[in-house]
Every structure is written in C-alpha cells, then in structure tokens.
A and B are shown apart, each in its own frame.
Chain A
Amino acid sequence: MGNYNYIPSSSREQEELLEILGLESIDDLFKDIPSDLKIDELNIPSGKSEVEVRRIIEAIARKNQVFTSVFRGAGSYNHYIPSIVKQITMKEEFLTAYTPYQAEISQGILQSIFEFQTMVSEITGMPVSNASVYDGSNAAAEAVNMCLDKKRKKALISGTTHPMTIETIKTYCHGMGTEVEIVPTINGQTDLDALEEMMDESIACFYVQHPNYFGCLEDMESIEKLVHASKSKLIMGINPMATSILKTPFEYGADIATGEGQPLGLAMNFGGPYLGFMATTEKLTRKLPGRIVGQTTDKHGERAFVLTLQAREQHIRREKASSNICSNQAHCALTASVYLSAMGPEGLRDVATHCYSNAHYLQKELAKISGFDLVNTSEFFHEFVTTSPIKPEILNQKLQEKGILGGLPIEENILWCVTEMNTKEEMDTLVSLVKEACEA
C-alpha cells in the first residue's frame, strides 16, 4: 500500500494498523470476497498529479464554445449571478455537510432551508413549501403524484408545457400506472375547449406552465374555473423570476405550485444541477414529498429548527411511501435563497421588468424584418416564438460565428429568450446580423 491520493496515513502507519489487527496484509481483510471474483487491475489510466489533472480538465473545457451573448432559454436561463452569491455558497461548511440529521450541530443548514421554504412561499404565495426536489420537471411529476387517489387516477398535462417536463411526468406516471393525457395547444396556449371536454371525475389534476414553453401567459382564470368545476387539482408550474411581477399561483387559486429554480442564481452548467421547488396549501402539507424543516424549541425553550414530518418518508413508511426522494438540492436551495436575499423584492422585480421589456423590444425590432412574425398573439413574458424566412439552423450558424447563441429552433420557427443580461447594443447587433443573414 502506498501513501497518496487524499489518504493521510503513511504506509508505516498503515502497517501499524495491520499489526494491531494481527494481519499480514490488507488482503486478509478481503477474505470474504471469493478469489475468482477479484480483479487484478482496473482498466483506467494511472493516477496523476493535480497539475496534470487540471491541464486535462481545462483542455476539455476549451472544447466548449462559451457564447458572449445568449438569446436562448427553453428551461435554462442566463441571468446575472452576483459575486456575493458565489462566495457565500462556496463556504465549506455548507458544501461538505450531509443531510442535517443532527439538529444540534446543523442549525445553520436547517435555518437556511427554513429561510428557503419561506422564500418559496413568498414567491408562489402558497403557505407551505418543501426543502426542494431534483428539478422543475421532478417537482411537476411529484406534484401529479400528490393528487392521485383511488378514484382519480388520470393526469392532464397542457401541451404548452416544456417537452422534457412532459416526458418526465410520463415516465413517473408509467411507473405508477397513472394515465396521462396531453391537452392540445391553440395560439401558444392551452386549448380551453379541449380542456373542458377532457375534464371529468377521473381526472386527478391538470398541470399547466405559466409562462409556458412558448413564453406565453395562459388564461389562468378560465383554467382554474374549469379544473375546480370537476373537483380536480390545479398544478401550476411557474418561473420564479417572472412571478415577482406576475400574479402568483395562490392568486390564481392553484392547489400546488412548482417550478425550476435555476434562474435564481444557478449557473447554466449544461443543464444541472438545478433546483425543483414545490409549494402547496395547508390542506396538502402532509402529501408534500421530500424533506421539510420545521421550527420548534430546544430543551431550554430557545428557537430551533429540525427536519420534520418525516413519517411521510421512506424512513418509516418504506413500501407505502409514494415518493422515494431522499437527497434533494439543498445546496442549490441555499444558492437561491442567497440570491433572493441579495436581490431583495425590488431587485427581483427589476430583473423581471428588464426581462419583460427587453424581450418586447427585441420582438418589435425583429418584427421589422420581413418573415420574423410573432407566431402566437397572446401575451408573453421573456420568451416568444417567431417565424423565420430562412432555416433557423442556418441563421444560428451565422450568429454562432459572432459568438451569439440564437433562439432555439422549434420546427421551422424560433423560440427567442431575452434576459437582463442582453444589452440594447447586443439586441441591435443581433437584429442587424439577422437582417444580413436573410438578405445574403
């Protein structure tokens, strides 16, 4: 045995340990493993120094193109992350802790989760939140799970939902034996006539995203009436950035609010890790999956925080559990709450207003170029779909050469996204490049 690779004890010390155990070699400790199962050596490269590893990883990173300006969203958004957010979340105590099972030495982590729950509750307007799930699509799938009962075993999902969220819900539902139906789309919104027709007593819930995949706002008032008329549950997926200026799920009468927390201070990171949040009514509290932190007192009567309502979880219910979630996204939740503290209510609304106004500016400028018409006439937040007179891929190729990530091609159309990170100059440059590409 050697003496490297994050192993602090020297070979001499390790020999000492073996001696105390009365063993000749380390193999004596592995005698329970049948010898024909043991392998001689792994077929992977030899260990390297930190310098070499760094060079390899940095070289791999250089194979990626970092775009200087980004006009693509579709579930991952390019927002500014304040320095203080990055610094605070890198603190080792936060990074290297496990799930806070021991309350007495985990008050910091527990309190940060309690603060996160409160902030999710404020964003969504709903009274209760959990301590996070894997991502927005999992939050949606878990929410569907919460609504099922013996009579209501069918879930309706709006066709305006992010395609990957639809796929994730379907996978989870297939496992549970839950039937899923997709409600058709009209003008970038849920088709209300179709929804009305599909609603009946077998429907456990309807999931709708607002703003939806196409960036459009839904007619939530009508949806709420339709869903609750047949006593189904309304699950509303939101963008937490948008909801600082948009009506909250609570105001719309939703039963469960879910969403993707990535816009709140998490880097795009090629898609992960992100942050799923879930909030609900008091009535459904005990159906919420995952960890929940509650306030209590310690034996001296002082305020303290602790993991609570654990009876719902795999610890006790085991085979009766309706969710198996164990790890969550605690560190991403911390990041989101540090971000929200840094921005404050005014800062957050400011970002949302930038997104909304910039997107509308770009849309109007693009509309001046022939062939870039808005596909849907409904109100949008910071994403919108336009037609394109040339193949979106060809257009994007030209933008890419200038370091610009253009909108996402959806069939023959383009889904554009604009945030506070896009300056007026960037938008104007984009428009002139688009014009050039079309004229060429």
Chain B
Amino acid sequence: MKLVFERSVKGRKNDFIPKLEVEETVLPDKFSRKQELRLPEISQVDMSRHYTELADNSFGVNNGFYPLGSCTMKYNPKINDEMTQLPGFSQIHPMQPIETAQGSMKIYHLAEELLAEITGMDAMTFQPAAGAQGELTGIMLIKAYHENNQDFKRNKIIVPDSAHGTNPATASMVNYDTINIPSKENGRVDLDKLREVVGDDTAGLMLTNPSTVGLFEHDIIEITKIIHDAGGLCYYDGANLNAIMGTVRPGDMGFDVVHLNIHKTFSTPHGGGGPGAGPIGCKEFLKPYLPNYHVIEKDGQLVFDTPEKSIGQVKTFYGHFAVVLRAVTYILFLGKEGIPQASQTAVLNANYMREQLKDNFEMAYEGPCMHEFVMSLDTLKKETGVTALDVSKALLDNGMHPPTMYFPDVVKEALMLEPTETESKETLDKVIRVFKQIHEQAYKNPQLIKDAPSQTLIGRVDETTAARNPILTYQF
C-alpha cells in the first residue's frame, strides 16, 4: 500500500473554508515558521480511495470473529455511534455555562446511576480516559485515603502473578512497590501466601474477578477480608466484568474501588487502540477523594462538584463524553434483563467452545470457566514444534482474529479465548472446526502452520529489525 505522502502531488488542494473577509493581519517575522510543512497534497477522491484501502486492510469485530481474551470484543451497536453524532451532543463546548449543558450533564448523571448499580458502588467518576488511567485514579484514591489517615508506611500493593501488566505499572506510578503473589494449581489466589505477605505496609490489593485465567475466585470474601483486616483497601480491575454483570457485583465482594473498561463491557468501539473510557466507582468513604468534576444535583440543576479531599484531576475537562454516551445508550437498550443475559450467554459460549476443544487442546485449568478460557499449547509444541504463535498466525488465514497469545504469563504457550455473547452457534462451530483442522495439520505437516499466514496482505513481520533500527516516520 502506498503511504498518503506517496500519493501527494504538489499543488493539489481542497477548498473547505471561505475567503478571508477581514483584512489579513501579518504575523511578525520573528514568530513565523520557517521549517517546511510536508503534509499530503491530495484530492478528495484519492483520499477516499486511500483510506478505503487502509480500512480494507484492517480487521475489526465487523470483519470477523475476534476472541481476544480479556479484551471482550463484542459487537458494537450502530445506534450508539449515531447518538454521538447528534449536534445536541457533539457541538457542546465543555466550558459553556452549565445551565446550557444540562443534557450532557444528564448523560453523566445517568451513567453514574446505572454503573454504580451494576458494580455495587456508591459513586462514580468519568474523568479517567481509559482502563489504565482508571487504575491509576483508583490507586490514587487509596493512597489519598491512607495519607489522610496519616498512615504513610503503607507502600505495597499486592497483585496476583497472573495480573494484567498495567496493574504493577500503575502501582509504580504512585511510588508503590508491587508484591506478586503466586496462584495455586487450580488458578486461584493462594490464601496462605496472601496471609504471609499482608501487613501494616499493605496499601491494597489489585484483583480482577473472574481472574485473568477466566476463573471466579470463590474465596473472594475471604480474600478481601484478609486485606481489610490488615488495613488495606481492595481494588477491582474491571477487565472481566462482562462475565458477571447482573449476577454478582464487585461492591458486594468487598471491593472498595473499581474501574470499568467501557470499550469492553459496554460495547463501545475501540477504534484501533482507543479511545476507551475508564470510569471508576467507589464506596461512600472514598467519595471525598474522587477527582474533580463529579456531577451532583443542586437546586434542581446538575452541576460539577469538587469533592472535599479530591486527588485533583487526571485530564482536561470531564471525561470521554462521547464514549460514555455510547455506554449509556447500550445499557438503556439492554436494561435489567438484558445485562445479566449478555453475561450468561458470554459464559455459555465460552464453556461450549472449551468443551468442544478440550479433546484436542490441553486446557490450562479445570472447568467450568467464566467468559474466557486458557489453553496451553505446550504439549503441541513439544510434539510438533508448532507454537501458540504459529497457531495464531494460521487462524489469520481462516478469516478470524487470533486469541490473546502468551498471556497470562503463568501458563506455557497460552492462548486465551473469549468468544463473547454476540457470536452465534454457527460461528462458534465454524471456529471450533478451524481449530481442530489446524491441530490435525500441526501433526501432519507442521511446516504449513509455521509458514502461516499465506493469505494475508503481508507475511510475518520482522519485529526485531523494527525495534533495533526504528523507522518511526516516513522518510521524505
């Protein structure tokens, strides 16, 4: 594919704005740019074709099955996008008088009501821009709480070894040390190990439930109690909420703070890497620490409030409004019946796939699983030389996105599949067939799998050279 710069022809331009109606003011020379500005000069028709080509060479949920474990790639309803295009939302200036933006405020307020109920929390903030920023904000609330209690010795965050990489990175951003605790054979948190590491230096625990290996921590009440008894707080990583919505709530499991990945659970498109949104919820006692711009009702009007001991703000303005609006649209459509149904179907689909694949592929843990499951291709690798990466690349030739590879770290040659609720039985059956064929092929002709993909636009890429000699911009 040509780069947009390679389609550029000097002198081509588009007329979008009218001629200047006032006298031109000339910028003093000392301020003016001397460096050349090499942007594409391209006609609209060529632009249309260029980006259509890029779209054709991109793969989204709308192109095919996308069982990327822990990423919950469900169908993104079209009405959600359409609602964000309403001028009554898109043309609202963030600094216009609050009485003229009551509609936008209502969306935040409604989102808080709905999501607080779904998570079992007392308050929500929508400032965080993504799950990882939600984590950071949540851990900052925990830190602010301890500091407010003059409890400065708490500098450790406990994280299971299977946690998302963002958890320890988040802890380090607030100067906390991470203590990794191993999981047991059955994939669950080792309670004895947990008891060993908690103490008066424990600031908190970061955990997702179901865990990153797709299992529900049945001892969760005991886990959160151990932390609370030691004076720490419990943080819920919402990455896997899709498994349990409407069945059980983080707030009822003993968690004090939770973040949500709206682009996962609440069907907002992820746009090739963002924007998502990472609202956090908290229990009443943490409410005074919430970031600025918490929406409250005052004298019959919705206004922004700065909580009394606020940690400040984590970004400009109030949050990813258009992303939150999509989530609200989605929740209103599903309602109290549809929300748990989505979760139940996601879990059913995952278990069905797991059951159908378990004779060929080794499952890392005993079932049933929640909305995702982990396979270990270690035996396959030993017997055929075919790795989890090879299998993933072979899946590309079959019109699907591969599962999450090599995660969690604790499972060798891991593939983590999350089919979600928005896939039909036919799709699941077709994918099961593909997996079985690849498995068979791995024994018959492993080289074929190792050479995959062969039907994609490009073959396997040289990642090493890319990292060693980085070329990060077009060389004009």
Mask: chain B, 227-249; 1 = CB below 8 Å from A; 0 = not: 00000000000000000101111
Q: How far is the CA of A67 from the CA of B387 in the complex (A)?
A: 58
Contact residues, B1-50 vs A (CB, 8 A): 1, 3-5, 12-14, 16-18, 20-25, 27-28, 31-35, 37-42, 44, 47-48, 50
Chain A CB within 8 A of B150 CB: no
What is the CA–CA distance of A102 and B335 in the complex, to the nearest angstrom? 35
Among B42, B424, B460, B470, the residue within 8 A (CB) of A8 is B424
A440 in the interface, Cβ–Cβ < 8 Å? no
29 contacts between A and B (CB under 8 A): A7-B421, A17-B425, A21-B352, A29-B351, A39-B247, A44-B113, A44-B331, A44-B339, A50-B79, A60-B106, A80-B16, A93-B56, A95-B60, A104-B460, A115-B3, A172-B314, A246-B27, A246-B31, A248-B35, A296-B462, A314-B165, A318-B169, A327-B278, A331-B272, A340-B39, A343-B16, A344-B39, A345-B39, A358-B22
Whether the Cβ atoms of B88 and A272 lie closer than 8 Å is no
A271 touches B165 (CB 8 A): no
Q: Is B178 an interface residue (CB 8 A)?
A: yes
Whether a CB of chain A sits under 8 angstroms from the CB of B205 is no
C-alpha spacing A408/B94, complex, angstroms? 11
A383 within 8 A of B: no
Bound form: Cα–Cα A109–B90 in Å: 25
**Given A21-B352, A75-B95, A272 contacting B79 (CB threshold 8 A):** no
**Within the assembled complex, what's the spacing in Å between the Cα atoms of A356 and B28?**
12
| Interchain CA distance A171-B12 in the complex, whole Å | 46
Cα–Cα, bound, A113→B271 (Å): 12
Is A94 in contact with B39, judged by CB distance below 8 angstroms?
no
Chain B residues contacting A291 (CB-CB under 8 Å) are: 273
Interchain CB contact under 8 A, B32 and A245: yes
The chain A residue with its CB closest to the CB of B76 is A96
Q: Give the size of the chain B interface in residues (CB under 8 angstroms).
A: 196
A434 close to B (CB within 8 Å): no
CB contact between B459 and one of A42, A118, A167, A299 (< 8 Å): that residue: A299
Q: Which of A121-150 contact B (CB under 8 A)?
A: 121-123, 125, 127-129, 131-132, 134-138
- Residues on B with C-beta less than 8 A from A111 are 1, 3, 54, 57
Among B125-133, B193-201, B374-382, the stretch that binds chain A is B125-133
Q: Considering the chains assembled together, what is the distance between the CA atoms of A341 and B175 in angstroms? A: 42
Q: Are A96 and B269 in touch, CB under 8 angstroms?
A: yes
Q: Given the complex, which residues of A lie within 8 Å of B474, measured CB to CB? A: 114-115, 118
Question: B253 at interface (Cβ–Cβ under 8 A)?
Answer: yes
User: Within 8 Å CB of A170, what residues of B?
Assistant: 312
Query: B461 near A56 (CB under 8 angstroms)?
Result: no
* A306 interfacial contact with B, CB 8 Å: yes
Q: Flag whether A396 is at the interface (Cβ < 8 A).
A: yes
Q: Smallest CB–CB gap between A78 and chain B, Å?
A: 7
B321:A97 contact, CB within 8 angstroms: no
B294 at the interface (CB under 8 A from A): no
Question: How far is the CB of A275 from the nearest CB of chain B, in Å?
Answer: 8
Is A330 a contact of B27 with CB atoms below 8 Å?
Answer: no
Contact bitstring B82-122, A, C-beta under 8 A = 1, else 0: 01101111111111110011111011001001100110000
For A98, what are the chain B residues with a Cβ–Cβ distance below 8 Å? 60, 66, 68, 71, 73, 270, 272-273, 401
Contacts of A34 in B (CB 8 A): 218, 220-221
Contact partner of B48 (CB less than 8 A), chosen from A88, A131, A165, is A88
B351 near A43 (CB under 8 angstroms)?
no
Check if B473 sits within 8 Å of A117, measured CB to CB: yes
Determine which residue in B315, B332, B421 has the highest number of CB atoms from chain A within 10 A of its CB, and name it. Answer: B315
Q: Say yes or no: is A229 at the interface (Cβ < 8 Å to chain B).
A: no
Q: Is the CB of B100 within 8 A of A400?
A: yes
- Which residue, of B20, B22, B313, has the highest number of chain A Cβ atoms within 10 A? B22
Find out whether the CB atom of A95 lies under 8 angstroms from the CB atom of B94: no
Distance from A73 Cβ to chain B, minimum over Cβ atoms (Å): 8
| Chain A residues numbered 331-351 whose CB sits less than 8 Å from any CB in chain B | 331-332, 334, 337-338, 340-351
Q: CB distance A44 to B136 under 8 Å?
A: no
Pick from A5, A84, A308, A420: contact of B17, CB under 8 Å: A420
Q: Verify A100–B91 contact, CB threshold 8 A.
A: no
> With A14-B348, A103-B461, A298-B460 in contact, do A171 and B55 touch (Cβ < 8 Å)?
no
Given known pairs A269-B90, A269-B321, the reply for A361 and B22 (CB within 8 Å) is: yes
Looking at B81, B94, B393, B459, the one whose CB has the most chain A CB atoms below 10 A away is: B94
- Beyond known contacts A44-B117, A60-B107, A298-B462: 5 more, CB 8 A cutoff: A2-B341, A53-B333, A66-B87, A127-B473, A137-B315
Known: A269-B89, A343-B39. A46 touches B336 (CB 8 A): yes
A217 within 8 A of B: yes
Q: A9-B425, A96-B61 are in contact. Are A37 and B39 (CB under 8 A)?
A: no
User: Contact: B76 with A244, CB < 8 Å?
Assistant: no
**Contact at B91–A306, with CB atoms within 8 Å?**
no
Q: How far is the CA of A294 from the CA of B382 in the complex (A)?
A: 33
B412, CB-defined interface residue at 8 Å:
no
Decide if A376 is an interface residue (CB 8 Å cutoff).
Answer: no
CB <8 Å contact, A9 and B90? no
Q: Would you call B361 an interface residue if the criterion is a C-beta within 8 Å of the partner chain's C-beta atoms?
A: no
A201 within 8 A of B: no
- The answer to whether residues A334 and B272 also contact, given A318-B169, A405-B96 and a CB cut-off of 8 A, is yes
Shortest 9 CB-CB contacts between residues of A and residues of B: A331-B271, A271-B317, A47-B335, A61-B88, A96-B60, A271-B94, A330-B273, A108-B58, A63-B103
B35 touches A64 (CB 8 A): no
Q: Are A44 and B130 in contact (CB under 8 A)?
A: no
Q: Is the CB of A270 within 8 A of B20?
A: no
Q: Is there contact, CB below 8 Å, between B422 and A93?
A: no
Give every chain A residue within 8 A of B25 (Cβ-Cβ): 356-357, 360-361
